[in-house]
């Protein structure tokens, strides 16, 4: 019985550890999976309890993704995960400006896991990719393992090369309405 309990505990541990492990991705995927992407000043952060997360009072400065910029600019509160979340807490510093990717969850604006960074780490190329080059109608595919994807992808996909750059990679439709990839900016 002890051995079975140990195996189940080990399996649970591995599942929890693997849930936030590195999975190949590019910044465009974070952008496209978010309903809102915006720049905001963090005015005040409030810890809601050990497991409940954080509530942040924000002032939205610029909007990079959403149909209605005025709706997004009216956001005054966003929530982040707490320290007991399986992927760790989402801690934003007061009096700091961030690029935030967010969705709504149970009626509240929620930061997407690992999809926020200080604006001091965002450059003009990042902003240009968000405003002009990210095409969310294109699917991004990765070569995984020893299996290589076919060299010619369908018109609505970009295959990420083995030596890709997470930050500078983008996928966008060209004048023939075919998705094609490129890089803009620093590679890191």
Q: How far is CA 123 from CA 73, 110, 120, 127, in A?
A: 21, 24, 8, 7
Q: How far is CA 164 from CA 140, 141, 169, 174, 188, in A?
A: 12, 12, 7, 20, 9
> Measuring CA to CA, which residue among 115, 155, 118 is closest to residue 28?
115
Length of the chain in terms of residues written:
188
CA dihedral sign of residues 108, 65, 136, 113: negative
Take residue 106 and report the two structure tokens written for it. Answer: 């149970």
* 20 in a known ligand binding site: yes
Tell me how far apart the alpha carbons of residues 178 and 173 are, in angstroms, rounded to a whole number. Answer: 5
Q: How many CB atoms lie within 10 A of CB 155?
A: 13
| 123 within 8 A of 185, measured Cβ to Cβ | yes
Which amino acids are annotated as binding site for Zn(2+), given as ranges?
A: 20
Which amino acids are annotated as binding site, given as ranges?
A: 20
């Amino acid at each position: 019985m002890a051995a079975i309990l140990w195996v189940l505990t080990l399996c649970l541990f591995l599942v929890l550890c693997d849930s936030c492990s590195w999975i190949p991705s590019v910044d465009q995927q974070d952008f496209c999976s978010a309903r809102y992407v915006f720049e905001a000043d963090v005015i005040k952060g409030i810890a809601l309890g050990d497991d409940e997360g954080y509530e942040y009072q924000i002032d939205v400065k610029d909007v990079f993704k959403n149909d209605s910029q005025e709706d997004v600019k009216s956001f005054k509160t966003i929530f982040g995960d707490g320290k007991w979340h399986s992927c760790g807490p989402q801690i934003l510093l007061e009096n700091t400006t961030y690029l935030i990717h967010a969705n709504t969850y149970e009626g509240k604006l929620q930061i997407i896991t690992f999809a926020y960074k200080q604006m001091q780490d965002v450059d003009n190329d990042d902003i240009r990719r968000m405003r002009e080059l990210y095409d969310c109608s294109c699917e991004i595919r990765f070569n995984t393992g020893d299996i290589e994807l076919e060299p010619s992808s369908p018109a609505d996909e970009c295959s990420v090369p083995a030596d890709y750059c997470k930050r500078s990679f983008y996928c966008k439709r060209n004048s023939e309405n075919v998705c094609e990839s490129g890089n803009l900016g620093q590679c890191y």
